[in-house]
Structure 1
């Protein structure tokens, strides 16, 4: 195989891998945003004590019951003391708790990034890597 074709093949494979990695990263970002959105929805329902049963909540959020339990556990990881009332068929906060989700997206062009970081110490060759 000539070196040109080998280089072309390697380049094509690298481009394919790079595109796949970008796609995976985008999916992760979207999944994280969806999770934050669901956490906020769940928080609002718990605050209003209007979640329904876990099965009803799963249907409302259009997720599995297992995902509902995972979201509840995530809120508990944020120190939310969550209880469930079988008689009222709802989750509720046993103690005061508030969750505020805010997302900020700033899109920068290459020129803007260069301007922001232009002259930065980190863009110079002053970085020393410990060995």
Structure 2
């Protein structure tokens, strides 16, 4: 997948976390993609477990639970797994 795909995913995730997506048409235009492509991104994110909802009053997508996507290469994955496990236990 091209780098741009992941950049768009990160942007969508960020805007959802800050509840600043706006209407789907506005978000698609901002990302320079079609609304259909935006809906495909949202569907994929939901399939990966993202609790995405839409607030009609605020006209923005949001996560119904705290969280977000973290897409990057991790050099020492063992350390990340241990830290993640510790945070779950606490």
Structure 1 regions of 5+ residues with no counterpart? 1-28, 105-131
Q: What does 1:40-119 correspond to in 2, within 5 Å?
A: 40-103=10-73
Ranges of 4+ aligned residues in structure 1 off by more than 2 Å:
none
User: Which is richer in helix?
Assistant: 1
- In the alignment, the residues of structure 2 paired with residue 94 and residue 43 of structure 1 have an alpha-carbon distance, to the nearest angstrom, of 13
Structure 1 residue 103, shift from structure 2 partner: 4.5
- In the alignment, the residues of structure 2 paired with residue 66 and residue 98 of structure 1 have an alpha-carbon distance, to the nearest angstrom, of 22
Structure 1 residue 48, shift from structure 2 partner: 0.4
Q: What is the CA RMSD across the aligned residues, in angstroms? A: 1.4
3-state secondary structure, aligned to 1:63: coil
Indicate the residue corresponding to 1:36 in structure 2: 6
Indicate the residue corresponding to 2:79 in structure 1: none
**TM-score (normalised: structure 1):** 0.53
With over 3 angstroms needed to count, the CA separation of the structure-2 counterparts of 1:62 and 1:103, relative to structure 1, is: farther
Structure number with bigger Rg: 1
**TM-score (normalised: structure 2):** 0.76
Number of paired residues?
74
